[in-house]
Structure 1
Amino acid sequence: MKGRTIALDHLNGVEAAALMVDGRLQDLLVDTDLPRPGTLYRAIAMRPMKGQGGMFLNSPDGPCYLRQIKGLSPGQPLLVQVTGYAESGKAIPVTNRVLFKSRYAIVTPEAPGINISRSIRDEEVRVSLLEIAHEVMTGEAGLILRSSCAGADPDEIAEDIGAMATLAAQVMADASGEAETLVEGDGPHALAWRDWTDPAEVITESGCFEHGGVLDAIEALRGAHVPLGEGSMYIEPTRALIAVDVNTGGDTSPAAGLKANMGAVRELPRQLRLRGLGGQITIDLAPTPKKDRRQIETALRAAIKADQVETTLVGWTPMGNLELQRKRDRIPLSEVLK
């Protein structure tokens, strides 16, 4: 099936959203019972972590961990925002640089100024967006207009800016008191509306995952094996890292190795995104000459750039493995499907 489709349904009884492009699953969001990224707390500082430059905070959902603690003392209330999912047995990661993000606008209370996405290059459009922003925004909070503003209805943009600015003002004025959840993070359906902004057919009927091929695509993600056309790879999480093994199959020539490696690095960000995997990632590539490493890196950087999850290419190990560090902003699909 050609084109983009957004399916809003439920998976194992919880809210879920799937993005299909030309009949292929490109993204999958599944809700959990854990605090969602984007949730805003009024938290209470507890104790610093000596030698690590961070501090534990108390929140309604349990202990949080904040890295930036300059000028912070135990017992002090402060506003923080969940940045990702905590690893098992660890505190919820938070930041005190809170953002209020919607489909068209991101309000930045601690960073004044109005900025427009660099992907919007039409000068007339940029001027028009600035006029809307200056008309709606009041106070000292900053504003970022997202790329989705291009071609959007001006009234919808203005309404979105106003809603986020009002919410930001209300929350920032509520910094004193006991630990409390001030704003819940967006669920899968809201995130799909917020972040999947390219034109698409939206399907909301119950059971659309089954009829649209989403369940079949999810079932394929249960296994470690990923066919690449030219070779294959296996993606296997361990306690310490995510191990990726690239294979060429029967053809062991240098050309076959390069084809398998190129296919693997182009496909890997999509596979990690769909599987909800992050942290340290080690790629055991198929045998390939050192002279091909730059070509492999270039392809991997391009694939990472097109992905929304923050990922850093760390480099090559002495044994020729390629290492990545990827933000844990999702729960592993294997845990969701239990």
Structure 2
Amino acid sequence: MKQMIVNCESKFTQMALIEEGKLVEFAAERSQSESLVGSFYKGRVVNVLPGMQAAFVDIGHKKNAFLYVDDVLHPHLEKQPKVKPSIEELLKVGQEIVVQVMKESLRGKGPRVTTHYSLPGRWIVYMPIADYVAVSKKVLRENERTRLKILCEQLRFRGEGIIVRTVSQDESTDAIKSDLDLLRQLWSNIQGKAKNAEAPSLLHQDLSIVQRHIRDVLNPTEDELIINNVKEAAVVERYLSEMGQGIHLPVKVHESSESIFKQYGVLEQLDKGLSRKVSLASGGTIVWDHTEALTVVDVNTSKYTGGYNLEETVTLTNIQAAEEIARLIRLRDVGGIIVIDFIDMEQEIHRQNVVEALEAVMKKDRAKSQIVGWTKLGLLELTRKKVREDTSVLLDKTCETCSGTGRITANIIH
């Protein structure tokens, strides 16, 4: 069972997701400037750079959006030319173009946009010009994968693309068709607005943080949603009714004077989970450090001495650390390159056990990740895709004295 706890404030909305009593996701969104990812814009090309094989597009925000050549070519790889054309052959300065934001403005860079349009629904992701059907790799039963692929091939029009989501397993034809019809209508509305709109302009805003998580995460027959705002609860219930398809997720309004996050233990778990040094139940510790290029995690046995021998003690600590690191990567929404310095193990089978423990928990994460493997120095490398602004931006700020390093220059010159 999962619980989604929503704290609505005047300037932002915060969402905490709890699975089996553990905090696994925390996200925040500014009320006055909601997330750009997933939104559609009619933009104008302001610069074409053949040296970068990219263009910059004005979508009406402070920083122009970045459009790479691969995101202009056909989304179906088999329909792309064998020799990639120059960006100058595809786009011209002043050209108006419909784009979708695929990545937020991060670290001073403008948003990244694409013409590979996609509209996620409850059961499927609709891609109006992709011309292929794919089934989530997390649908493991081969007969069910085949059923879903054949069904969507029958339902789609020529040129359309569909990705079948994991939650579609054992779902009825009517439910999937209803989802597809709604998404087709949404795409038609976007196209209609694009014909009459002046660039730059917003054509379609993606769902709010609460609605996205209801659509993507919650199981209406098992999970629970608690929110501390009556008006927002009504908005959520209206959204649920619009989704249709027999979804009856109960919405509970928190009316106590006590903070909703305090009552449900979110604050305590968040404080521990976002600390630089995190203690494991066994007595071991994991230490987090962030650089501009990567995140480094160090594992230590600390107070744990529980195994029959050193190798067993080390392996048990590493496995427990791997499970906790996977949860905290999702909670902290860490993106980019991640390097984990586990305690040295002598046997290859033990290293494999640690990787399997990490993979098992990371499968629950919706963000795309890849475990690259062990380096010659015994470090484990992985990557995780990040598309939205760091939640930490709303939770903390860089120290003005040490610029986030935790160190200041000693005054040794008199």
Partner of residue 180, structure 1: 201
Aligned-partner Cα distance in 1 for 2:11–2:153: 40
1:272 aligns with 2:295: no
Partner of residue 233, structure 2: none
Partner of residue 281, structure 1: 338
Shift of 1:293: 3.2
Amino acid paired to 1:278: G
- Find the partner of 2:299 among 235, 238, 246: 246
Partner of residue 79, structure 1: 98
Higher strand share: 1
Contact conserved, 1:80 with 1:98, CA < 8 A, in 2? yes
- Find the partner of 1:336 among 391, 394, 411: 394
- Find the partner of 1:197 among 218, 226, 246: 218
Partner of residue 163, structure 2: 144
Amino acid paired to 1:264: A
Amino acid paired to 1:301: E
1:217 aligns with 2:269: yes
Q: Which has the higher contact order (CA 8 A, sep 6+)?
A: 1
Aligned-partner Cα distance in 2 for 1:282–1:329: 20
Q: Taking structure 1 as reference, are residues 289 and 103 closer, same or farther at Cα in structure 2, changes over 3 Å only? A: same
Moved more, 109-118 or 156-165: 109-118
Partner of residue 317, structure 2: 260
Partner of residue 22, structure 1: 20
Shift of 1:82: 1.7
Q: Taking structure 1 as reference, are residues 14 and 289 closer, same or farther at Cα in structure 2, changes over 3 Å only? A: same
Shift of 1:156: 5.3
Q: Taking structure 1 as reference, are residues 49 and 241 closer, same or farther at Cα in structure 2, changes over 3 Å only? A: farther
- Find the partner of 1:6 among 4, 7, 13: 4
Moved more, 44-53 or 79-88: 44-53
Q: Taking structure 1 as reference, are residues 11 and 289 closer, same or farther at Cα in structure 2, changes over 3 Å only? A: farther
SS state of the match for residue 8, structure 2?
Answer: strand
Query: How many residue pairs end up in the alignment?
Result: 335
Aligned-partner Cα distance in 2 for 1:151–1:5: 24
CA RMSD of aligned residues (A): 3.1
Partner of residue 107, structure 2: 88
SS state of the match for residue 340, structure 2?
Answer: strand
Partner of residue 55, structure 2: 55
Q: Taking structure 1 as reference, are residues 249 and 120 closer, same or farther at Cα in structure 2, changes over 3 Å only? A: closer
SS state of the match for residue 292, structure 2?
Answer: coil
Q: Taking structure 1 as reference, are residues 54 and 297 closer, same or farther at Cα in structure 2, changes over 3 Å only? A: farther
Contact conserved, 1:77 with 1:175, CA < 8 A, in 2? no
Q: From the CA coordinates, give the structure whose radius of gyration is larger.
A: 2
Contact conserved, 1:254 with 1:289, CA < 8 A, in 2? yes
Shift of 1:38: 0.9
Residue-by-residue CA offset, 1:105-150 (whole Å, 9 max, x unaligned)? 3211112355555628596998699769957x66742333433234
Shift of 1:246: 0.7
Contact conserved, 2:25 with 2:332, CA < 8 A, in 1? no
Q: Taking structure 1 as reference, are residues 117 and 276 closer, same or farther at Cα in structure 2, changes over 3 Å only? A: closer
SS state of the match for residue 103, structure 2?
Answer: coil
Shift of 1:11: 5.9
Amino acid paired to 1:10: C
Q: Where do 5+ consecutive residues of structure 1 fail to align? A: none
Residue-by-residue CA offset, 1:46-72 (whole Å, 9 max, x unaligned)? 223454332222111231112225422
Contact conserved, 2:41 with 2:59, CA < 8 A, in 1? yes
Aligned-partner Cα distance in 2 for 1:324–1:299: 14
Q: Taking structure 1 as reference, are residues 9 and 152 closer, same or farther at Cα in structure 2, changes over 3 Å only? A: farther
Correspondences of 1:88-127 after superposition (within 5 Å): 88-113=107-132, 117=136, 119=139, 121=141
Shift of 1:190: 0.6
SS state of the match for residue 220, structure 1?
Answer: helix
Shift of 1:16: 2.5
Aligned-partner Cα distance in 2 for 1:275–1:209: 17
Partner of residue 411, structure 2: none
Partner of residue 234, structure 1: 287
Partner of residue 383, structure 2: 325
Aligned-partner Cα distance in 2 for 1:63–1:125: 41
SS state of the match for residue 330, structure 1?
Answer: coil
Shift of 1:226: 1.9
Contact conserved, 1:44 with 1:58, CA < 8 A, in 2? yes
Moved more, 158-167 or 204-213: 204-213
Aligned-partner Cα distance in 1 for 2:161–2:49: 32
Contact conserved, 1:16 with 1:30, CA < 8 A, in 2? yes
SS state of the match for residue 193, structure 1?
Answer: helix
Amino acid paired to 1:44: R
Partner of residue 362, structure 2: 304
SS state of the match for residue 302, structure 1?
Answer: helix
Aligned-partner Cα distance in 2 for 1:274–1:284: 20
Q: Where do 5+ consecutive residues of structure 2 fail to align? A: 73-86, 228-252, 397-414
SS state of the match for residue 280, structure 2?
Answer: strand
Contact conserved, 2:124 with 2:163, CA < 8 A, in 1? yes
Aligned-partner Cα distance in 2 for 1:125–1:84: 30
Partner of residue 179, structure 2: 160
